[in-house]
């Protein structure tokens, strides 16, 4: 019996290694010459920046820094429910949909197929930000949008608000959405009733017919919903002509970028790992995949085209809206973090809940995303604390659990075990190198690295570009 099992294992190994059923020694001959090296397929790779907590980690600042050297900056998923703040030359930019790297005039900005877009909101955001302090026109000549993205319609936004109200009335607890219509738009997409930008830019009469059907479906489902169908169609017709020169086939565009001349490509994830529709703290999550898999599905690129994946985390933890938060501090410590960090949502203006850094949570994000290195932001917010706690272990029924619970009721019951580290009680805002940081702050960063097994490449100690320390 053991011999049969060994033979089966050998056969399986042969198949996995490219051989026939007989095992590795019976590999099929290659067609053509073998590649000169094992470095992987030729072509450019994308560098990815992702949030490692519940969002608001400061991804925009990291993307802005990296975009200075980028040729192409991409958004791959989400919608205008993101909130990225970038400060350049004392000018503050707030982006909800546009890639944070759009400030770099020499780079192409690309919003991928996986993003849902509210066209009026897109143009309003562009008008507010792209002329602010930069002197550039509303759109650069190279900004690109794909043919396959799905518009967020006004009635999607209205339905988002109705659904939140219903959840509050029926269950006594809403999800805390931004009410930007993102969830309903993704629902239309998943149910295959949604419309795409290629529909809008093709035959407008055919688009109008489909739009009226979709609007009627929503009115039937939500009797209280009021939709001015004809007025919205007229608005969409105007925006269609505005965006038409910017729309290209996204898959072909990305393929050329990846397989053409050497090019530095940067991808900015919206939201964060713990808000991922599959791997986040469901149901208190967003409606898209904001982990690394969303890069492939959102941009239409193969996995081997992903190069470095950088995770961004705050030196503490915050969360907007409702949902479980194991290291939350509902006391003066939380208030101090909130006040010093000016923790208000960029998109909603809501006060963020605050707590100690949760490394169990970040390690879970690393398991999914495989971070190459980390950026730790807002270290300066901890400057006044005499001691600093870090969540290092979850216990359930007095037993350590080695995983991050998927079920919210279970996660609510975990008891966090903390490591207490000494504070530094002095300002780090003027530090411009790792050596400039006080020894206790250096120790805090080293503790994060050792726990996660991932190096820290950048440390944020302020709002501006010059306040990011590059460690290596």
Question: What are the residue numbers of the active site?
Answer: 56, 84, 189
Cα dist from 334 to 134, 215, 337, 357, 385, whole Å: 37, 44, 5, 12, 12
Q: Is 83 annotated as a binding residue?
A: yes
Buried b (16+ CB within 10 A) or exposed e, 295-332: bbebbbbeeebbeebbbbbbbbbbbbbebbbbbbbeee
Q: Any residues with CB less than 8 A from the CB of 368 and at least 6 apart, and which?
A: 273, 276, 279, 291, 292
Annotated ligand binding at 377? The verdict is no
85 labeled binding residue = yes
348 marked as binding residue: yes
> Under the phi-then-psi rule, with left for phi > 0, alpha for psi from -120 to 50, and beta for the rest, what region is 349?
left
Residue 219 labeled ligand binder: no
The Cα-based distances of 15 to 1, 26, 30 in angstroms read: 21, 10, 15
* Whole-number Cα distances in Å, 148 to 201, 269, 298, 392: 11, 19, 10, 43
Please tell me whether 112 is known to bind a ligand: no
Annotated binding-site residue? 443: no
Q: Is 114 strand, coil or helix?
A: coil
Strand 357-358 with 387-396, pairing: parallel
- HEC string of 270-294 equals CCCHHHCCCCCCCCCCCCCCCCCHH
Determine if residue 271 is labeled as part of a ligand binding site. yes
Give strand pairing partners of 85.
94
Q: Is 128 annotated as a binding residue?
A: no
- 242 marked ligand binding residue: no
Contact criterion met (CB below 8 Å) for 52 and 315: no
Is 428 annotated as belonging to a binding site? no
List C-alpha distances in Å: 199 to 109, 237, 318.
23, 12, 40
Whether 213 has a binding-site annotation, put simply, is no
Q: Is residue 264 a known part of a binding site?
A: no
Is 82 annotated in a binding site? The answer is: yes
The H or E element that residue 95 is part of is: strand 91-95
**Residue 58 marked in a binding site:** yes
| Annotated binding-site residue? 113 | no
259 is in an annotated binding site: no
Q: Is 346 flagged in the annotation as binding?
A: yes
Question: 351 among the known binding-site residues?
Answer: yes
Check whether 161 is labelled as a binding-site residue.
no
Residues 96-119: b if buried by 16+ CB within 10 A, e if exposed: bbbbbbbbbeebbbbbbbbbbbbb
What is the 8-class DSSP label of residue 101? G
Show binding-site residues.
55-61, 81-85, 178, 192, 271, 286, 346-352, 378-380, 460-462
Show binding-site residues for GTP.
55-61, 83-85, 352, 378-380, 460-462
Show binding-site residues for IMP.
56-59, 81-84, 178, 192, 271, 286, 350
Show binding-site residues for substrate.
346-352
Show binding-site residues for Mg(2+).
56, 83
């Amino acid at each position: 019996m053991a011999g049969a099992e060994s033979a089966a294992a050998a056969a399986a190994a042969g198949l996995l290694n490219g051989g026939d059923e007989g095992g590795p020694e019976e590999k099929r001959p290659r067609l053509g010459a073998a590649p000169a090296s094992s470095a992987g397929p030729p072509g450019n790779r994308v560098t990815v920046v992702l949030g490692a907590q519940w969002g608001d980690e400061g991804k925009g600042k990291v993307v802005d820094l990296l975009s200075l050297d980028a040729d192409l900056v991409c958004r791959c998923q989400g919608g205008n429910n993101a909130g990225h703040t970038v400060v350049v030359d004392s000018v503050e930019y707030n982006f909800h949909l546009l890639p944070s790297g759009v400030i770099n005039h020499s780079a192409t900005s690309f919003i991928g197929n996986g993003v849902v877009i509210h066209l009026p909101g897109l143009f309003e955001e562009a008008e507010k930000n792209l002329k602010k302090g930069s002197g550039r026109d509303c759109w650069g000549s190279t900004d690109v949008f794909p043919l396959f993205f799905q518009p967020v319609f006004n009635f999607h936004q209205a339905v988002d608000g109705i659904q939140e109200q219903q959840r509050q009335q029926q269950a006594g607890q809403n999800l805390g959405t931004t009410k930007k219509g993102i969830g309903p738009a993704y629902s239309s997409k998943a149910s295959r009733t949604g419309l795409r930008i290629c529909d809008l830019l093709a035959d407008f009469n055919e688009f109008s017919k489909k739009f009226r059907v979709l609007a009627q479906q929503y009115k039937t489902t939500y009797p209280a919903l009021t939709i001015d169908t004809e007025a919205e169609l007229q608005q969409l017709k105007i925006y269609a002509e505005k965006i038409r020169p910017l729309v290209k086939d996204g898959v072909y565009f990305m393929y050329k970028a990846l397989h053409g001349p050497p090019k530095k490509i940067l991808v900015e994830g919206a939201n964060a790992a713990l808000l991922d529709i599959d791997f986040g703290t469901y149901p208190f999550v967003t409606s898209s995949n904001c982990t690394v898999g969303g890069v492939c599905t959102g941009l239409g690129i193969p996995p081997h085209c992903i190069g470095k994946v950088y995770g961004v985390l705050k030196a503490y933890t915050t969360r907007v809206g409702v949902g479980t938060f194991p290291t939350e501090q509902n006391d003066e410590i939380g208030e101090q973090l909130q006040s010093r960090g000016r923790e208000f949502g960029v998109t909603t203006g809501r006060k963020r809940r605050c707590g100690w850094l949760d490394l169990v949570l970040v390690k879970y994000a690393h398991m999914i995303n495989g971070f190459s290195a980390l950026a730790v932001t807002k270290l300066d917010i901890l400057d006044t604390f005499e001691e600093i706690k870090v969540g290092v272990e979850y216990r359930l029924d007095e037993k350590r659990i080695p995983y991050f619970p998927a079920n919210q009721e279970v996660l609510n019951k975990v008891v966090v075990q903390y490591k207490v580290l000494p504070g530094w009680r002095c300002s780090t805002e003027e530090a411009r190198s790792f050596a400039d940081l006080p020894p206790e702050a250096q120790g805090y960063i080293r503790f994060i690295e050792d726990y996660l097994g991932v190096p820290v490449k950048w440390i944020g100690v302020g709002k501006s570009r010059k306040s990011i320390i590059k460690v290596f």
